[in-house]
C-alpha cells in the first residue's frame, strides 16, 4: 500500500484545530501545589509538571498542554477553580 504525503489542508497538519493551555505565574501558589495540579488536571508526570512550574516562575507563563478546544477549555476551568491563573489560546 502506497502512503500519501500530508498536505497543508490535512487535519493532522493543521494547527487551526489545536488550542494551547497557558499557565501564568502568580505569587500565591507553591511549586508543590502547581505541580500537583498539573499532574491531576493535565495528566503530566511529576517531572514534566515540575519543569512547567519552573518555566512559569522564571518566564511568567508556559504552554502546559496542546489539544482540542473543548479539552483545553475544561482543563483551564479546572486550573482556575484551584486558584491558578490560566488562559486558552487558539
In a domain? residue 22: no
In a domain? residue 10: no
Q: What is the mean pLDDT of residues 33-54?
A: 97
Number of domains making up the chain: 1
In a domain? residue 68: yes
> Could you tell me the pLDDT band of residue 16, with boundaries at 50, 70 and 90?
low
In a domain? residue 63: yes
Q: Name which of 25, 21, 14 is nearest 76 in CA terms.
A: 21
Q: What is the mean pLDDT of residues 6-28?
A: 72
In a domain? residue 43: yes
In a domain? residue 13: no
Residue 65: φ, ψ to 5°:
-160, 150
> Could you tell me the pLDDT band of residue 10, with boundaries at 50, 70 and 90?
very low
Domain range for 64: 28-89
- Dihedral (Cα; 88, 63, 47, 77), 10-degree rounding: -10
pTM of the entire predicted model: 0.80
> What pLDDT does residue 32 have?
97
| CA–CA gap between residue 77 and residue 86 (Å, rounded) | 8
Amino acid at each position: 500500500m502506497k502512503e500519501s504525503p500530508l498536505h497543508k489542508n490535512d487535519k493532522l497538519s493543521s494547527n487551526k484545530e489545536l488550542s494551547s493551555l497557558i499557565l501564568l505565574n502568580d505569587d500565591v501558589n507553591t511549586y508543590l501545589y502547581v505541580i500537583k495540579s498539573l499532574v491531576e488536571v493535565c495528566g503530566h508526570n511529576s517531572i514534566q509538571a515540575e519543569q512547567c512550574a519552573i518555566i512559569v516562575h522564571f518566564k511568567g507563563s508556559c504552554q502546559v498542554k496542546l489539544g482540542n478546544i473543548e479539552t483545553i477549555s475544561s482543563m483551564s476551568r479546572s486550573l482556575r477553580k484551584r486558584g491558578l491563573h490560566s488562559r486558552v489560546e487558539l
